[in-house]
Amino acid sequence: MQYRFLLLALALLAAPLVNSQVDSRARYKVDVNMVVLNFSVTDKSGKPVTGLKPSDIRVHEDGIPQKLAAFAEGSTVFRLLDDAPGSPGTGVFVLFDTSNRMYTSYPYVRDAIAEFIRRLAPVDSAAIYTFSRNLHRAATLTRDHVRAGAGLDNISAGDDSALFNALLLTLRDAAEAPGRKAIVVFSNSSDTASMLSPYDVARVAINEGIPIYVISTRDAVQDPVMFSALQYLTASTGGKFYWAPKWQKQASAFQSIREDIGNSYTAYYYPAPNPNPGFRNIKIEVLAPGGGAWHVLARPGYEPRKDVSSHTN
């Protein structure tokens, strides 16, 4: 599929784009057949709905009901099949803009990111990536939050910004990690150096099932094209966009993202037989009392990998 070719293209470009000191020895085996569907549920007032159980939801692909293998709320996992994933927690990749536009606000953002990582659930993992024109892995994915936070002391500023290139490389890493993942971006600049569009990146994130959260200090007046692109990127992946021009709002945005990750749900399932080789639409139905009036935020669907086969249990 096309999005796989995008990943391959970025893999070939990784040498010049990624800092040469990166330690890329850690690799994970991932079940390519299983769908990992992250979603959140809010009531009519916008407050998160918590406490849902596997029996409270129903997932359909192209109208075909799916049998859940596992279900999670935050870090609590319900294993419904013997071969279901049992690892709790979320792998959170923080992608931090260190282009020259960050000089004045860096100390405040650094403190907000450090606090964000400290307050993640103990079972959650964190990684710190930074970017300007190149991507640098300041701290690879780890459950040691102190070690991850120390990565903030190992960054350097650059000139141009290549956000969408860096995002795709981060998605490539996140796709190799097991379980559910999320990417949190902080940026206050336009993308001046990427070879990729936000729509290319969104396609990969949708298919991999990885929500993207973005905190930006630039509003629509400063850069309407970038503003629109980031809103699309977050909404289409099941993440959220925050405009936070002041450090107080930036800290509040990080807190909101942490709460959203902690209150979100994950449905794991092996796709039922489906003749559709193209984009498969996903619908989540909430069966709990009052669920018909609640809002579900999730990716709209995905393109199956060519090696996806039906799973019977």
Residue 49 backbone class (left: φ over 0; alpha: ψ -120 to 50; beta: rest): beta
Domain boundaries, the chain: 2-22+88-263, 35-84+267-302
At 139-169, the pLDDT tens digits run 999 999 999 999 998 777 777 889 999 999 9
pTM for the whole structure: 0.84
Q: Which residues contact 40 (CB under 8 A, 6 or more apart)?
A: 48, 238, 260, 263, 264, 265, 296, 297, 298
Is the per-residue pLDDT at 249 higher than 60? yes
At 187-242, the pLDDT tens digits run 887 888 899 889 999 999 999 999 999 999 876 667 888 889 999 999 999 999 99
Q: What CATH number matches the domain at 2-22+88-263, 3.90.180.10, 3.40.50.300, 3.40.50.1220, 3.40.50.410?
A: 3.40.50.410
Indicate the pLDDT class of residue 137, thresholds 50, 70 and 90. very high
For all residues of the chain together, what is the average pLDDT?
Answer: 84
